Amino acid sequence: MSIRRWGHGHRTGFSLLEMLIVLCVLGIVLAIVLPSYGRFASNQRTLAASHLLASDLRVAQQEAVTRRAEVSVTFSAADPACSGHPASYALGEPETVIKRVCLPPDVGWAPRPAHPVVFQPEGSAEGDASVIVQSARTGKRFAVTVAAGTGAVTDAAR
């Protein structure tokens, strides 16, 4: 039985040229994918913010019924408690804040609601309200509405 050894002429591994080609192809793929992923992620943050707002409006409605008092949701363009985030909202009674939410940096109002959404002790809302959440990066919008008579919250993104 003879043992065969590799000669000096046979090389294993990749050449420098092959590695450069692979790196160039990888760079091109990343240059195409990363901006698309950034837009996708911004749209998903905006969608999540609209779902959270709809959920919190329902919570405010339930709190109004439970506390037997008016509960309002106020919207702000720049809240100092949110450390520079462009938009936020707070649930609360006139004297206390129940919950404060700071939206992600690239999510805001389109336009900011001028009046708070107020829920009466029986759960109805004081007038119709429509709040539009928008991605500052892509312009994608999601609407959350509140019906005046019933206080029903509708998330148009669903």
Whole-model pTM: value is: 0.80
Per-residue pLDDT for the chain (158 aa), expressed as one digit of tens each?
556 565 566 667 889 999 999 999 999 999 988 888 989 999 999 999 999 999 999 999 999 999 999 999 999 887 788 887 778 999 998 788 999 999 998 999 988 888 999 999 999 998 899 999 999 999 999 999 999 889 999 987 65
Per-residue pLDDT, 77? 83
Q: What are phi and psi of 89, to 5 degrees?
A: -150, 160
DSSP letters of 102-151? EPPTTEEESS--SS-EEE-TTS-BSS-EEEEEEETTT--EEEEEE-TTT-
Looking at residue 82, what is its pLDDT?
A: 82
Predicted confidence at residue 6, as pLDDT, reads: 58
Domain spanning 16-155: which superfamily? minor pseudopilin epsh domain (3.55.40.10)
pLDDT at 10: 65
Round to whole Å and give the CA distance between 103 and 49.
7
What is the distance between the alpha carbons of residues 108 and 134, in angstroms, rounded to a whole number?
5
Angle, CA of 80, 84 and 90, to the nearest 5°: 50
Q: What is the pLDDT of residues 89-116, one digit of tens each?
A: 999 987 889 999 999 989 999 888 889 9
Q: What is the pLDDT of residue 93?
A: 84
In 10 A of CB 134, how many CB atoms? 21
Q: Which string of DSSP letters, residue by residue, matches 46-84? A: HHHHHHHHHHHHHHHHHHHHHHTS-EEEEEESS-GGGTT
